Amino acid sequence: MNDKLVEKEKQKITSAKKMRDIMTTYYIDAMSAKENNKLVAWITSGGPVEPLIAMDIIPVYPENHGAMIGSSKMGEDLCMKAEDMGYSNDLCSYARTDISCAIVKGGPIGGLPEPDMLICCNNICGTVLKWYEIQARFFNVPLFIFDTPVCHTEFSPEIAKYVRTQIDEYIAFLEKVTKKSFDHDKMAEVGKISYQGQLLWQKVLNTTANRPSPMTAFDAFFFLALIVTLRGTMIAVDFYKELLLEMKERIKNGISIVPNEKYRLLWDNLPIWYQLKWLSSKFSDHDACLVADTYTSAWCSSLKYIDENDFLNSIAEGYTRIYLNIGVDQMADQVIEMIKFYNIDGFVMHSNRSCKPYSFGQLDIKRIVESKANIPVLMIEADMTDPRAFSQSQVETRIDAFMEIINQGK
Amino acid sequence: MQELKIFHEAIQNPGSVALKMKEKKRKTIGYLCSYAPEELIYAAGFHPMRLFSSKAEINLAESHLQAYCCSLVRGILEDSLSGKLDYLDGTVFPHTCDSIQRLSDIWRIKTKYEFFADVIMPAKLNTQSAKNYMRDVLIKFTTDLEKACGEKITRSALKKSIAKFNLIKTNLKKLYELRSQNPGILKGADIHAIVKGSMIMDRDQLVELLPAIVSKVSDVSALDQGKRLVLSGSICDSPDIYDIIEQAGGVVVGDDLCTGQRWFDGKIPENEEPMEALTTRYFERIVCPAKHSSTIARGENIVKLAKQTEADGVIFIILKFCDPHGFDYPYMKEFLDKEGIKNILIEIDDHSLNSGQLSTRLETFMHMI
């Protein structure tokens, strides 16, 4: 028994505690922004945050907050409050929880600090456009829309020109709101740091290609918070350096995250925040490790377009060609690359009622993966924050059957 | 009225319209959203036709789009996969909502029509750079069309096309004005057929038919009035809804629908450079909720429309699973409530209308206003 505990302790990723501390400090800073004469900008998860960092504005992410609400199992109550306000329960649960939270100041941290401005980049969905309009009316603050047209098949010259122009408009917007002029030298520095952070995040994610994997996608969902919220700061760079070291150390010492890793799985779509623990142990019981996912890699997937020495010019393409803003066939190609890179035995897709651009097209990706990569695919119907869309017994039966198929195929 | 029959027939069988157009050497290009620049499609020698769901049972589309996708998007895909749209020579997808965005991908991968284009319009419509981008997108689309038809779209062809569509749209606007002054001149289901037909039928025929209808209804003397209502939503493609409204004692006097005023309002100046004028019209038209012009544009517009038409109430008709309209509903309601304009929300599924429940709700609403 004692040996087992010691073994379990050894398997834990020690950087997790540090990460929690960093996030706590970050939220305390954000909450006390007013007292410190700092401005707060709410920004979408895929938005260009670097100019905010260069302007010393504190970025706050309603989507990260949504994830926290989901993990704390407070999603249902806040979703229902939004429904009482007239928002259909078919709408995105992140948006619903954020909209009601702004009013009732609920959730695990009592609501987010009020924004001085809103930055909405629609590279992830059209929902954020509506969501940020709602918050712009509620808080009566300026809204900047960073419009990144969908690249169904190409990043056309028209799109390139339009998005590049908006970077200048974005900077002009920030200068107007802050009444300060933009420091291009500082921007260049922040750009380099952001690039470095994304590169490190990619390296951390890549470590799971090792068999056995030193961490799971469930850990990545957790460690993701920094590359989202503190991208462009040394805090993220320093942390990911340490995390990378820890992962390398684990690999060296043969420490796996799933005790008897037999099967390696790939996850698609946002996490089911309120069921992470259950799902994690469910797969672990089958000796299956979710080694990678299409979600957390979105924060480094467009690195190839970014030039750290010409950051502002290159992010037009980098921010436009992210995973969700490309065609379904290109998404399938990326999935297949991941399947090869991580040596994947099965693909688990979360069909997420809350995220239409992520979920529609999944059935086509599923077929492409089944035929090209020749691995079984499981689709789970759920919602990232609203537990009412999740049926544990049904999902459990399906996971068991899926693992059975993988086992037979081995 | 003889003319009405033609519209009713056309909307029941768009395929036969397409076949007739083929005889006239015009290939049919289907489109999915009111931001599709019909004027350009027509100028290139094609026949633009808006696609609606035939409301057939979802079967084949089930394996591409989950059940939480709206009935319009699933329905159109079903029609395509089941061969109902084989008369199409091509399709155009203006960027609209997340669902249509993915429908475009699936369509591009799965269907085999001759022509395909994404017209990736800007999502924001309040900056000069967005307007420049829209112009660039329209020019790119022009090139795509030219490649498909093998000819240049001349300036004069575009001007002629604009004039034709202006005539069609101006007549629809007149018809709406006449109806607002004298509701009952036409049944709601007839107006629905006229507007829908105007997105489907031969435009050369429409420029004859529409003025004739307008002139006929101009002479109708005042009819009994019911409760004056404005509809707001995406599409309202169920003629039954109009019948139910009328049976409940209401008359529709205006709409904020993309198969209505949002589509035909806003004449394109004919004496300006055509591409510029076209851009300006699509940039400045009454905004769709999937796009942004200001945070309160749609709230202000619905209040203005309700006041202009002296409406007794507004009916929000929203397709289930439609995100853009779902997000706008609470604030638009609030804008109406502040003005004391009564309103009701009806969530519909394009495929199954619960008539009994709907008429009870609407009757109750009519009594309240």
Can you tell me which residue has the tokens 């987010």? A112
Count Cβ atoms below 10 Å from residue A323 Cβ, excluding itself. Answer: 20
A125 min Cα distance to partner chain B (Å): 6
- Compute the mean pLDDT over every residue in chain B, rounded to the nearest whole number: 96
pLDDT tens for B82-110 read 999 999 999 999 999 999 999 999 999 99
In a domain, B333, yes or no: no
Number of domains composing chain A: 1
Query: Is a pLDDT exceeding 60 seen at residue B125?
Result: yes
Residue A91 touches partner B, C-beta closer than 8 Å: yes
Reference A43, options A149, A143, A130, A147; nearest CA is A143
In a domain, B219, yes or no: no
Residue A361 touches partner B, C-beta closer than 8 Å: yes
A chain contacts of residue B295, beta-carbon cutoff 8 Å: 133, 136-137, 143
pLDDT grade for A2, boundaries at 50, 70 and 90: low
- Edge-to-edge strand ranges of the sheet holding B115-119: B46-50, B27-31, B90-94, B115-119
Locate A179 and state its tokens. 């009444």
Locate A391 and state its tokens. 């049926």
Can you tell me which residue has the tokens 């589309």? B61
Over residues B300-319, the mean pLDDT reads 97
Query: Is a pLDDT exceeding 70 seen at residue A158?
Result: yes
pLDDT at A345: 98
Residue A165 touches partner B, C-beta closer than 8 Å: yes
pLDDT at A7: 72
Where are the alpha helices (H) located in B198-296, listed in sequence order? 203-218, 239-247, 261-264, 274-284
- In whole angstroms, give the CA distance from residue B162 to residue B268: 7
In a domain, A3, yes or no: no
Over residues B352-368, the mean pLDDT reads 90
In a domain, B20, yes or no: yes
CB contact under 8 A, B123 and A147: yes
A361 min Cα distance to partner chain B (Å): 6
Which of A145, A149, A363 is facing B120, going by the closest CB pair?
A149
* Residue A121 Cα distances to A124, A147, A380, angstroms: 7, 6, 28
In a domain, B136, yes or no: yes
B chain contacts of residue A133, beta-carbon cutoff 8 Å: 292, 295, 327
In a domain, B111, yes or no: yes
pLDDT tens for B156-214 read 999 999 999 999 999 999 999 999 999 989 999 999 999 999 999 999 999 999 999 99
| CATH code, domain carrying B18 | 3.40.50.11890
Instruction: Please give the residue range of the domain that contains residue B31.
Output: 14-154
Query: Is a pLDDT exceeding 90 seen at residue A65?
Result: yes
B chain contacts of residue A165, beta-carbon cutoff 8 Å: 129, 132
pLDDT tens for A280-339 read 999 999 999 999 999 999 888 889 999 999 999 999 999 999 999 999 999 999 999 999
Which of A137, A165, A328 is facing B102, going by the closest CB pair?
A328
In a domain, B35, yes or no: yes
pLDDT tens for A332-376 read 999 999 999 999 999 999 999 999 999 999 999 999 999 999 999
Which of B109, B127, B331 is facing A329, going by the closest CB pair?
B109
In a domain, A98, yes or no: yes
- Give SS3 for B227: strand
Give me the amino acid identity at B218. Answer: S
B chain contacts of residue A161, beta-carbon cutoff 8 Å: 132-133, 136
Q: Is the ipTM of this complex over 0.90?
A: yes
B chain contacts of residue A170, beta-carbon cutoff 8 Å: none
A137 min Cα distance to partner chain B (Å): 7
Reference A377, options A343, A407, A409, A402; nearest CA is A402
CB contact under 8 A, A360 and B99: yes
B chain contacts of residue A92, beta-carbon cutoff 8 Å: 323
Residue A270 touches partner B, C-beta closer than 8 Å: no
Q: Residue A11: exposed, middle, or buried by beta-carbon count in 10 A (0-12, 13-18, 19+)?
A: middle
Residue A274 backbone phi and psi in degrees, to 5? -80, 0
A chain contacts of residue B102, beta-carbon cutoff 8 Å: 328, 356-357, 360-361
Stretch 291-350 of chain B: residues touching chain A, C-beta under 8 Å: 291-292, 295-296, 318, 320-321, 323-324, 326-331, 333, 345, 347
Residue B182 backbone phi and psi in degrees, to 5? -140, 75
Over residues A126-133, the mean pLDDT reads 98
Number of domains composing chain B: 1
- Compute the mean pLDDT over every residue in chain A, rounded to the nearest whole number: 96
Instruction: Please give the residue range of the domain that contains residue A236.
Output: 11-409
CB contact under 8 A, A357 and B296: no
Locate B266 and state its tokens. 């806003």
